[in-house]
Amino acid sequence: MVRAWADSLIKAFYIAKKDAKVYYFKAPNFTYGLLIPVSLYLAFSMAGEISSKLIVAGLTSLVMLFGTTSIEAVAVVLEKQTGTFERLLAAPISLFTIVLGKALAGFFFGLILAAVVLFPLAAVSGTVVMNPLLAVIAIAFTSMAFSALGIIASAYAKWVPEAQMLSNFLRFPMVFLSGTFTALEALPSQLQVVARFLPLTYSVEALRSSIAEPAVTYPYILDIVALALFTIVLLALSTKILEKRIA
Amino acid sequence: MLSRIWSVNCVRNEHEMEIAIAVYDLTKQYGKILAVDNISFTVNQGEVFGFLGPNGAGKTTTIRMLTGQTRPTSGTVTVAEYDVVRESIKAKERVGVVPEVSNVYDEMSAWDNLVFAAQLYRVAKNEREKRAKELLELFGLYERRADRAGNFSKGMKRRLTIAAALIHKPGILFLDEPTSGLDVQSSRMIRNLTKDLNKNGVTVFLTTHYIEEADQLCQRVAMINQGKIVAVDNPEKLKASVEKHQIIEVSFDQTQNLERKLADLKYSNKVTQVGDKFRLHVRNTSEAVPLIIDFARENGLKIVSINTLNPSLEDAFVEMTGLSPEVMATEKEQGKKAASLG
């Protein structure tokens, strides 16, 4: 059993490594992954005053959200379009391992984008990250949850534009409902309830907590647990959707 | 280079032949469409088994079920002793799959494509590099190993796809239309390779719409039409089953307006012109040949050649399915055009 799991993990890692080689430098990953979140933030920061702490946590989460979901949309749908997905299906790998491998590719991409954004932005804006380790943990859990979210869209779609459209359908409402640009408490109470069903909410909160607090707090732990639960549920759901799609 | 042993676990049938693939009551339904309708057959270890049928007959759906890429609606498939649904990973470890459309990663080099394929089968690192080198050399791609597969010709991509399917030394190889749309040289190379692999013990499951190809390569063939198997046997036995018509192929020193005149000959059921030759379908060749000689004399023609032809696998296919062999070729071309437009 343990050996089978280890075998699956190794194969998932090979798929992620291959995806990194093949898909990391596709144009949509940069346009959607970096340009859109940066543009959104610039637009909002020009419209009103946003504290540097909010900017650093919010922008890092947004870049990860757009970056990981973009690469997942390309990685799964493009493979289905070009027929290379059949190579994976014919190989001795479970569908869950394929989904996990795809998610890992997005996960590593999210880590790279976060590293590119968080620490330089913190340095430029004069924001001190009180606990860098907690920030890294929050980034890791965020990246995995968003990757799993990206796979849902691309598991469902038949073409890259369809996957991008579905991703946008999930991404943009989240941006405005998850307290990215403002404190969550500033939203109407009904929307605060909706925000609790969105992974971006927990990502932003966990990052803000690691920037503001030197020690682990109870809300931070809850945020990490929520992100882990999102990851598990979304990966299982993606596997089920793909299973139905290829049946 | 192919003398290495490709080993495969097998069970034995009632004739003590080892069975590589066993299919029982296999059915696949997509909504209201019955793609594969309750088919059963076995493939013996070490044979080249052909799967013939027109586009939409259920060939690719069958191959997808046999290779664990899609679940059957009902029925069972056993590959190398393993149930493809319940023991999918173990069954897949023992087979190589070459789909109809070459599925290499265009962005990766030929070498990286093979290494990735080996990684999915957990081939050990030193072994995977050795195998990748051997296969690239075998397929004439070693000099281009560092080039992106996207820059390869269709034939080269096909060869790379087959190489990737062989990287883990499978005992059973599934080839879906391996030579479709390829140049003569690549087609010949793939056919020769199929024969060589088979000589080395690899069981080959081949789907093709080139009936001649199946006749040359396969020890047994199954004919499928509208999801149902209409015949499974040796090509020669299938040909013998349609021997009620015999064919005389004759060539004269001129061809103009002869088809209609030949059709009026006694004993001639049907006449077709093939290039500069005429094929007369007759009941009895010994009665028909003297008539043809008389016909030539009366019309001032010289006979260049005259031969009797045995029924071909194509004739057997037409007889069994009621379809013309051109249907398969035409449908394939239409499918390709639609895909390229899409």
Question: Model ipTM?
Answer: 0.87
One-letter amino acid identity for A44?
F
Of B70, B88, B119, Cβ closest to residue A14: B119
**pLDDT tens-digit map of A104-138:** 999 999 998 888 888 888 888 788 888 889 999 99
Cross-chain Cβ contact B120/A91 below 8 Å: yes
Helix (H, G, I), strand (E, B) or coil at B123: coil
Give the DSSP letter of residue B242.
T
One-letter amino acid identity for B292?
I
Cross-chain Cβ contact B104/A94 below 8 Å: no
- For A161, residues 6+ apart whose C-beta sits below 8 A from its C-beta are none
Q: Which of A140, A172, A156, A169 is nearest to A76 (CA)?
A: A156
Predicted pLDDT of residue B326 = 60
What distance in Å separates the CA atoms of residue A113 and residue A149, rounded to the nearest whole number?
Answer: 17
**pLDDT tens-digit map of B195-219:** 999 999 899 999 987 888 888 899 9
Q: What is the pTM of this model?
A: 0.82
pLDDT (mean) for A5-27: 88
- Which of B73, B89, B154 to mutate to probe the A interface, most A CBs <10 Å? B89
Domains of chain B: 11-240 (3.40.50.300), 246-309 (3.30.70.2470)
For chain A, the DSSP string reads -HHHHHHHHHHHHHHHHHHHHHHTT-HHHHIIIIIHHHHHHHHHHHHS---HHHHHHHHHHHHHHHHHHHHHHHHHHHHHHHTHHHHHHHSS--HHHHHHHHHHHHHHHHHHHHHHHHHHHHHHHT---S-HHHHHHHHHHHHHHHHHHHHHHHHH-SSHHHHHHHHHHHHHHHHHHTTSSS-GGGS-HHHHHHHTT-HHHHHHHHHHHHHH-SS--HHHHHHHHHHHHHHHHHHHHHHHHHHHHH-
- Which of A9, A86, A100 to mutate to probe the B interface, most B CBs <10 Å? A86
**pLDDT tens-digit map of B249-304:** 899 988 888 888 888 877 777 888 888 898 888 877 888 888 889 888 988 889 99
Cross-chain Cβ contact A90/B69 below 8 Å: yes
Q: Which of A32-36, A80-84, B64-68 has the highest mean pLDDT?
A: B64-68
For residue B64, the chain A residue with the least C-alpha distance is A90
What is the band of A212 on the pLDDT scale with cuts at 50, 70, 90? confident
What distance in Å separates the CA atoms of residue A205 and residue A61, rounded to the nearest whole number?
Answer: 10
**pLDDT tens-digit map of A58-99:** 888 988 998 898 888 778 888 888 889 999 999 999 999 999
CA angle, B116 then B122 then B126, to 5°: 80
What distance in Å separates the CA atoms of residue B109 and residue A22, rounded to the nearest whole number?
Answer: 10
Cross-chain Cβ contact A91/B92 below 8 Å: yes
For residue B164, the chain A residue with the least C-alpha distance is A87
Query: Looking at per-residue confidence, does B339 or B317 come out higher?
Result: B317
> Which residues of A lie inside 8 Å of B (Cβ-Cβ)?
7, 10-11, 14-15, 18, 21-23, 82-84, 86-94, 246-247
Of B71, B101, B116, Cβ closest to residue A14: B116
What count of other Cβ atoms lies within 10 Å of the Cβ of residue B135? Answer: 24
One-letter amino acid identity for B21?
I
Q: B172 and B94 in contact (C-beta within 8 Å)?
A: yes
**pLDDT tens-digit map of A219-239:** 899 999 999 999 999 999 999
What distance in Å separates the CA atoms of residue A138 and residue A209, rounded to the nearest whole number?
Answer: 9
pLDDT over 70 (residue B17): no
Cross-chain Cβ contact A89/B107 below 8 Å: no
Query: How far, CA to CA in Å, does A162 sit from each of A25, A76, A80, A242?
Result: 20, 12, 13, 15
With contacts defined as CB-CB under 8 Å, which chain A residues touch B71? 247
For chain A, give every domain's residue range. 2-246
Cross-chain Cβ contact A91/B121 below 8 Å: yes
